[in-house]
């Protein structure tokens, strides 16, 4: 391998339009087909994940009133979702800085993830500020926000896990839509497998502090590893400006216990040496999938992501001819992303391809093979996917196209995540 192969040299090839760039999906197919490819013939592989990421939050600066109209905010709500004012009090400036959790909620079906998507979509947001004993209200939109950045405390786990209920009955959980039924009647899975950025650079040789990435379709940066990160199971903390995000890659996801937050991250992996190239060859069959008891979340057996993503359907199909318009439609009631309404039909842009609708509809109007996982010689059907590999592939393609069009250059990390 050419020792002079650096990020700077790869950037030079990008600027000349000579860089060879593949998405992770494309590169894995090359590996499976045993097509000729070497570390010298590939420059960048774009990897991505789209999933429920609880550790997502937003920092917003909101103009509320004229100067000196109130001293400082005591409490703030955005569409009835509680936000934390500060840390800067902005005394008498009429501006409120707030921190909003992606898992904060106004009620059991509307939370921070929904709010973030509506902000990015440009919808009007109702803001209420309590200052002393006074309530100040105003409607704002994305254009009014002087500062809107998303930050993750932990995201893009190298791999996650699956959850089952080994006991009789049903258990409510953020990893289910209607509650996990047991014993071993269904399984919920999370993780994008072989296309996840940290599966492709597990030692974080190219991903570090300052690495330029994409977050929900906007340019962002890695600021380090996140909480609960380890060398065996790393994850990332990232930041990006919400003004440039694409609502299709984000949103809210209603579980059986509370609303959660959808976040998408894409990372370019530059092929700077043979070790990086070798790691990029990983396939779903080699990506471990720990399976945990939903009661204590401790893994007790192991599978792999081929059971989830190989020979299964990445997207859910809707057959309108089989929709008989039930009086009480369980899909309309329970769809985690509100992607189906009897009056409007199926909205593929809101669909997360989680598969819950397949098991909610008694008429079989929703189709998709989600696969199964063998546990103690029993084939347990996958009934919920909390990672959307189809949209992750789409984000990886978007990043690839930006690189090919010379609109996205790679950055050299300013520091390593693990010393």
**Residues in CB range of 63: below 8 A, 6 or more apart:** 94, 95, 140, 144, 146
Residue 222's H or E segment, with its range, is strand 218-225
Mean pLDDT of 155-179: 96
- Answer for the pair 291, 300: CB distance below 8 angstroms, yes or no: yes
- What pLDDT does 397 receive? 98
CA–CA gap between residue 44 and residue 64 (Å, rounded): 45
Kindly state the average pLDDT of the residues 187-192.
97
Instruction: Mark residue 86 as left, alpha or beta (left: phi above 0; alpha: psi -120 to 50; beta: remaining).
Output: left
121: confidence class by pLDDT, cuts 50, 70, 90: very high
> Going by DSSP bridges, is the β-strand pair 251-254/236-241 parallel, antiparallel, or unpaired?
unpaired
294 in a domain, yes or no?
A: no
Residue 152 confidence (pLDDT) above 90: yes
In a domain, residue 110? The reply is: yes
The yes-or-no verdict on residue 343 having pLDDT over 80 is no
pLDDT given at position 324 = 86
Distance CA 195, CA 269 (A): 11
The alpha carbon dihedral of 210, 223, 86, 101 has a sign of positive
Q: What is the mean predicted confidence (pLDDT) over 115-144?
A: 96
How many domains would you assign to the chain? 1
Q: Looking at 60-185, list the stretches that DSSP marks H as alpha helix, in order from N- to C-terminal side.
A: 112-121
Q: How many percent of the chain have pLDDT more than 70? A: 99
At residue 383 the predicted structure's pLDDT band, cuts being 50, 70 and 90, is very high
The answer to which of 30-39, 182-191, 210-219, 236-245 has the lowest mean pLDDT is: 30-39
Place of tokens 């993503």: 309
pLDDT of 385 higher than 60: yes
Q: How far apart are CA 238 and CA 220, in angstroms?
A: 7
The answer to whether the beta carbons of residues 288 and 275 sit under 8 Å apart is no
Q: What is the mean pLDDT of residues 130-136?
A: 93
- Counting Cβ atoms within 10 Å, is residue 85 exposed (0-12), middle (13-18) or buried (19+)? buried
In this structure, of 83-87, 239-243, 309-313, 345-349, the range with the lowest mean pLDDT score is 345-349
Is 91 among the domain residues? yes
Residue 132 in domain: yes
Nearest CA-CA partner of 385 in 332, 319, 337, 333 = 337
Quote the pLDDT of residue 3: 55
Q: Is residue 127 situated within a structural domain?
A: yes
| The pLDDT value given to residue 345 | 83
pLDDT at 29 over 60: yes
Render the burial of 255-273: b for 16+ CB within 10 Å, e for the rest.
bbebbbbbbbbbbbbbbbb
Q: Is the pLDDT of residue 325 over 80?
A: no
pTM of the predicted structure, to 2 decimals: 0.96
Q: Which of 372, 360, 395 is nearest to 192 (CA)?
A: 395
Which helix (H) or strand (E) covers residue 51, if one does? strand 44-52
Does some domain include residue 62? yes
Residue 2 or residue 185, greater confidence:
185
Q: Average per-residue pLDDT in the chain?
A: 95
Domain of 96, in residue numbers: 56-148
Q: Is the pLDDT of residue 34 over 70?
A: yes
| Biggest CA-to-CA distance, the chain | 70
Q: Which of the two residues, 342 and 310, has the higher pLDDT score?
A: 310
Q: Is residue 75 part of a domain?
A: yes
**Whole-angstrom distance, CA of residue 382 vs CA of residue 120:** 32
Q: What is the mean pLDDT of residues 242-247?
A: 98
User: So what's the pLDDT on residue 1?
Assistant: 43
Do residues 353 and 327 touch, judged by C-beta distance below 8 A? no
What residues pair up with 382 in beta bridges, in sequence order?
Answer: 187
């Amino acid at each position: 391998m050419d020792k002079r192969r650096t990020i700077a040299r790869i950037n030079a090839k990008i600027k000349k339009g000579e860089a060879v760039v593949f998405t992770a999906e494309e590169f894995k197919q090359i590996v499976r087909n045993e097509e000729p490819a070497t570390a010298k013939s590939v420059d960048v592989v774009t990897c991505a994940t789209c999933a429920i990421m609880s550790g997502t939050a937003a920092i917003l600066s909101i103009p509320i009133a004229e100067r000196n109209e109130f001293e400082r905010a005591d409490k703030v709500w955005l569409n009835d979702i509680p936000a934390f004012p500060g840390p800067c009090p902005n005394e008498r400036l009429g501006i409120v800085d707030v921190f909003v959790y992606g898992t904060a909620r106004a009620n059991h079906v509307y939370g921070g993830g929904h709010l973030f998507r509506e902000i990015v979509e440009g919808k009007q947001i109702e803001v209420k500020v309590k200052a002393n004993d006074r309530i100040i209200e105003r409607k704002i939109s994305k254009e009014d926000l002087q500062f809107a950045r998303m930050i993750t405390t932990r995201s893009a786990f190298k791999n996650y896990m699956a959850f089952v209920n080994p006991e009789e009955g049903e258990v409510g959980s953020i990893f289910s839509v209607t509650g996990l039924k047991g014993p071993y009647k269904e399984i919920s899975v999370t993780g994008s497998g072989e296309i996840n950025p940290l599966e492709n650079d597990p030692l974080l040789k190219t991903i570090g502090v300052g690495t330029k990435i994409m977050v929900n379709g906007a340019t962002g940066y890695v600021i380090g590893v996140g909480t609960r990160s380890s060398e065996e199971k790393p994850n990332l903390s990232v930041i990006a400006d919400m003004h440039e995000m694409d609502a299709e890659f984000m949103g809210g996801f209603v579980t059986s216990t509370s609303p959660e937050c959808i976040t998408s991250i894409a990372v370019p992996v530059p092929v700077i040496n043979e070790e990086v190239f070798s790691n990029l060859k990983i396939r779903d069959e080699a990506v471990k999938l720990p399976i945990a008891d939903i009661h204590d979340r401790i893994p007790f057996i192991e599978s792999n992501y081929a059971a989830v993503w190989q020979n299964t359907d990445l997207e859910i199909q809707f057959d309108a001819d089989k929709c008989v318009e039930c009086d009480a439609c369980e899909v309309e009631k329970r769809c985690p992303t509100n992607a189906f309404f009897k009056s409007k039909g199926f909205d593929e842009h809101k669909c997360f391809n989680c598969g819950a609708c397949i098991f909610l509809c008694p008429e079989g109007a929703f189709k998709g093979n989600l696969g199964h996982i063998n546990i103690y010689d029993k084939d347990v059907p996958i009934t919920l996917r909390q990672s959307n590999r189809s949209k992750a592939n789409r984000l990886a393609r978007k990043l690839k196209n930006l690189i090919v069009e010379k609109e996205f250059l790679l950055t050299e990390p300013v520091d390593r995540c693990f010393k």
